[in-house]
Structure 1
Amino acid sequence: MVNLKWLSPLRTCIVNPLRTVLPVCLLATATLSTVLPDPVSAAAPAGYTLYYADEFNDTVINEDDWMYRDAGPYSLGYNRKENVRESGGSLHIDFKREQINGTWYNTCGGIVSKKLFGYGYYETRAKLFNSTTGLHSSFWSMGLSNHIAANNITGLTAEIAAGNLPFYNQATEIDGFEHDSANGYYDTGTITYIPGYGSPRQHVNVTPDAWHIYGYEWTPTAIKFYLDGTLVNTINTVTTPMPFAPANFWLTALGYRTVSDYTKLPGESEFDYFRFYAKSYPAANLLGNPQMEFTVKDTSKGYTDQDTPNWIETYDKDASFMTTTDAHTGTRSLKHAKGSNYLVTTKQNLNGIANDTYQLSAWVKSSGGQAQAQMRVLNYGGTEMNITVPTTSTWTQITLNNIPVTNGQATIAFTSNANSSQWMLVDDVIFSEVSATTVYEAESLPVTTSTGDSQTNYNDAVTGKSFNNLNGNGVGDYVQYTVNVPQTGTYTVYVGNRSAFNKGIYQLAVNGTNLGSTVDQYAATSGYMESNLGTVAISTTGNQTFRFTVTGKNTSASTYQLAYDYITLVKN
């Protein structure tokens, strides 16, 4: 029995299942016509390791790790702690009609994790109430914010006060399923709480009152939704960006909709387990709001532009705030300052990250003179590592290398112990796993082209590969990729080329300097080839520019197009 235990070390249980993939085009309100069979079991996608699980085998909820959705009234509904229970190896959320303070309400409830989870695979096995209208059952992620404590989550105020959760932590809500009872389908998709981002949704048909396994996979490039091990929806977060921040996990049911037949109550939605699986995401930044650019969409809740979305503040919290007066990139940065002596820490707690070697970097400015002005990493399985922020009036990058995470978690923190004349600025923070070999899929990278040209992503039906194609028409045309390199050093660069009869010859330049010799992508028969373009020294972490410029074409080639499958960097 696994009962909400943190499994350590992280790599103790590796699963490598096969998945049947059902391609689905992403539409705002598309519906699948196939009703999938009830499952016996399913498993995470290949490469994932179980990190966290509650099998709901006890008789009470583990309140060390879960909070209750317990408040009301709202419309016709009320959330109640008493409606959530464990029995028979499952979590039961009861749906009732009850009188509270002289008024009749539809009552239900739910649980929300105290821990935050980011990239990974989320799964539950559930049987949902469907006998009459009125119940909204959900399996989802969303960060908690201070205003939610007033009408939803017991214990949230204490968690924020203790420095366990951020004051504001809503970025992207991921809905593994949202099901309204009496419907033969559920919704998947996202809702974003940062201005400027979209929220794509999609229907999926299901027999909700039978047992099914629901899952969603959150990666740096996509959010994928599964039903009984079959892919039913994909959101490409490169083409449809979503603001990232680790979030709380929810299993909930709301009884706030009209009930057409009260003789069907009481009822329940039942959850067999919740499991979170982790894996390596080399080069991906695991921090929420690392560029300090997120602002709060709903300012009516009392938040201001100086609040620090997705970051936790402790001690003298008013000495930590966002400023628009100076930034390394964008328009905002984090500032530590106050009109009197102060001690403040701004941090993030990360859970469910791969056990591996990491690097932490940030761009900083500082008045100097503080008793303490540090970038720190704690709770990673070893002794605290830190670096002093230097006295500097210009933006300067600082780095902590070789951070050996051994327990699947880490705390990233900036601490100032200073007087009223001293200050510190922080921007563009990166905490990422350092792998000796990092593969960047070309079709997932930020891309620009020469004026008048365009690029297109293609799927190769024969090989199953995807590639990015420059529709160039002459010498000097180029396609340029932005590659995020988390650690300085010397790298050997390999390029996966898509060769064909219509491809030209190119020269690669990294950060403006040519690397290696030219490469001819022409081939009479379409295929793939890998080129070793030599070594490049990366002196600054973060975004690097890889530009592929057309230098000519084979005499047999029909056009000057270029096409790429991947860029691989191998650290020497």
Structure 2
Amino acid sequence: MPRYALVPAVLVAAALVTAPAAVAAGPVTTPAGSGYTLVFSDEFNDSTVDSAKWNYRTDQKVKSAQLPANVTEGGGVLTLNLRKEQVGSYAYTAGGVVSKQSFRYGYYETRAKTPVGSGWHTSFWAMAGDGSTTFNPDRRTEIDQSEINSSAPGSISQGVNAWRPDGTKTDVGRKWTNPGFDTSAGWHTYGFDWNESRVAFYVDGVLTNTATYPPSLDTHDYVNIWLTSIAYETVDESKLPATAQFDYVRYYQREYYVDNDTPADYGYSETGTWLDSSLAGFTVGNSSRYSQTPGSTATWRPNLRAGGTYDVWIYRVPSTDSAARLTVVHNGQTSTVTADYTTGGWLKLGTWDFPAGTSSAVTLTAGAATARADAVKFLPAD
């Protein structure tokens, strides 16, 4: 699987909002629960879009061309300006932004207001990509928190698409939610909490849908955040120009996964000789690594945003090693654990106290048998 890089004179809408108060830096309670820590946010309080955080959506799809010039920031909001404007064969222009940084499990949230007048498809969603196309061949996970057609502003589509390399997909847990309000008439909060077995969707803090998926579905890759609106149906030109607006976007993390093929700087490293394996890792599309050189090491080092007590698990890709040696560094101490790799799957190594930051680690040292490396997870011990 390719490694994704970790990088993290137009109309301005009249209906703007006061920027929200700063978010606490420590663990907070979200609609999904407690113990979440803010990792990424944009409050859209500047006068221009932060190019260090965002790519523009620039594809041409359905009925509109997406233009960077249609995206503005001011008055505490991000505004997507929707216009009747000819670009090639497209009669309308729209826009959006896509986060340069990619993320995995955690709670994602925005506050938004959709356009007035039919014809526009406004979305808060997550998928691997940079905005140049919605058909990135590397995509596997697509999480649609809210897909809202402006012809039906009281209905929200929520669900997960599991994409395959051949471009086909499985639609998981799709549900049309009727929140009881017009999404174009005021500001509302949209969030989703993603973990290894499901995605839970929230509107104004209320759980509205849960999409569960079996381990056989490849729905676990790193994703970028998309805030977009495109022309999708027959456009009511009497309501143009129109706008879609976002007050903020935030991503909170609670569980920490480190994988051998995660984006750069997510904490996996090796010494000695390791090679790509044909055996899958803990998800269908993830590769694993192996070593037959004694003394070679694989290390998983999380960036824990909050100190505390964590259960530590390692994913075993089966091998002939019945006594693999692992060391766990926690709070300046080192514990040694022996793991049986003749059986695959997640194995709990133990529970320890860990400080915030990157000083903690799990290391596998290759011995006489073939060593196999894939993923380690740190889960808060509730």
Output the TM-score relative to the length of structure 1: 0.47
User: Does residue 107 of the first structure (1) align with residue 93 of the second (2)?
Assistant: yes
Tell me which residue corresponds to 2:41: 53
% same residue? 26
User: Does residue 62 of the first structure (1) align with residue 38 of the second (2)?
Assistant: no
How big is each residue's C-alpha offset from its partner over 1:186-219, in whole Å with a ceiling of 9 and x where there is no partner? Answer: 2011111259965121112240212222222234
How big is each residue's C-alpha offset from its partner over 1:508-534, in whole Å with a ceiling of 9 and x where there is no partner? Answer: xxxxxxxxxxxxxxxxxxxxxxxxxxx
Shift of 1:96: 1.7
| SS of match in other structure, 2:103 | coil
Structure 2 matches for 1:70-469, cutoff 5 A?
A: 71-100=58-87, 103-133=89-119, 135-144=120-129, 151=133, 168=138, 170-184=139-153, 185-194=155-164, 198-205=171-178, 206-210=181-185, 211-220=187-196, 222-237=198-213, 243-255=219-231, 257-279=232-254, 286-287=256-257, 321-324=276-279, 334-335=288-289, 354-358=306-310, 359=312, 361=314, 363=316, 402=352, 404-407=354-357, 425-427=371-373, 429-433=375-379, 435=381
Letter in 1 for 2:193: E
Checking the alignment, whether the CA contact within 8 Å between 1:278 and 1:352 is kept in structure 2 is no
How big is each residue's C-alpha offset from its partner over 1:86-113, in whole Å with a ceiling of 9 and x where there is no partner? Answer: 111111011122233x554422221222
Q: 1:254 to 1:329 in 2, by over 3 A?
A: closer
Pairwise CA RMSD of aligned residues? 5.3
Looking at structure 2, the residues matched to 431 and 331 of structure 1 have their Cα atoms a distance apart, in angstroms, of 18
How big is each residue's C-alpha offset from its partner over 1:377-397, in whole Å with a ceiling of 9 and x where there is no partner? Answer: 99x9x99x999x99x997899
How big is each residue's C-alpha offset from its partner over 1:203-239, in whole Å with a ceiling of 9 and x where there is no partner? Answer: 1224021222222223455432222222222334579
Looking at structure 2, the residues matched to 94 and 230 of structure 1 have their Cα atoms a distance apart, in angstroms, of 29
Checking the alignment, whether the CA contact within 8 Å between 2:116 and 2:239 is kept in structure 1 is no
Checking the alignment, whether the CA contact within 8 Å between 1:118 and 1:352 is kept in structure 2 is no
Looking at structure 1, the residues matched to 82 and 309 of structure 2 have their Cα atoms a distance apart, in angstroms, of 47
Letter in 2 for 1:204: T
Looking at structure 2, the residues matched to 251 and 236 of structure 1 have their Cα atoms a distance apart, in angstroms, of 24
Q: 1:364 to 1:121 in 2, by over 3 A?
A: closer
Shift of 1:47: 1.6
Q: Report which structure shows greater RCO (CA 8 Å, sep ≥6).
A: 2
Shift of 1:76: 2.8
Checking the alignment, whether the CA contact within 8 Å between 2:289 and 2:374 is kept in structure 1 is no
Checking the alignment, whether the CA contact within 8 Å between 2:83 and 2:93 is kept in structure 1 is yes
Checking the alignment, whether the CA contact within 8 Å between 2:110 and 2:249 is kept in structure 1 is yes
Q: 1:97 to 1:346 in 2, by over 3 A?
A: farther
Letter in 2 for 1:335: R
Structure 2 matches for 1:34-53, cutoff 5 A?
A: 44-51=31-38, 52-53=40-41
Shift of 1:357: 4.4
How big is each residue's C-alpha offset from its partner over 1:469-507, in whole Å with a ceiling of 9 and x where there is no partner? Answer: xxxxxxxxxxxxxxxxxxxxxxxxxxxxxxxxxxxxxxx
Structure 2 matches for 1:13-28, cutoff 5 A?
A: 14-15=28-29
Q: Bigger CA drift: 393-402 or 237-246? A: 393-402
Checking the alignment, whether the CA contact within 8 Å between 2:63 and 2:230 is kept in structure 1 is no
| SS of match in other structure, 2:34 | coil
Letter in 1 for 2:77: S
Letter in 1 for 2:84: R
Q: 1:352 to 1:218 in 2, by over 3 A?
A: farther
Shift of 1:409: 11
| SS of match in other structure, 1:47 | strand
- Report which of the two structures shows the higher radius of gyration computed on alpha carbons: 1
Letter in 2 for 1:139: F
Checking the alignment, whether the CA contact within 8 Å between 1:333 and 1:426 is kept in structure 2 is no
Shift of 1:178: 0.3
Q: 1:3 to 1:331 in 2, by over 3 A?
A: closer
Shift of 1:122: 2.1
Q: 1:3 to 1:212 in 2, by over 3 A?
A: closer
| SS of match in other structure, 1:263 | helix
Letter in 1 for 2:200: K
Aligned length: 342
Letter in 1 for 2:377: F
Output the TM-score relative to the length of structure 2: 0.66
Looking at structure 2, the residues matched to 431 and 131 of structure 1 have their Cα atoms a distance apart, in angstroms, of 46
Looking at structure 2, the residues matched to 363 and 276 of structure 1 have their Cα atoms a distance apart, in angstroms, of 29
Letter in 2 for 1:208: T
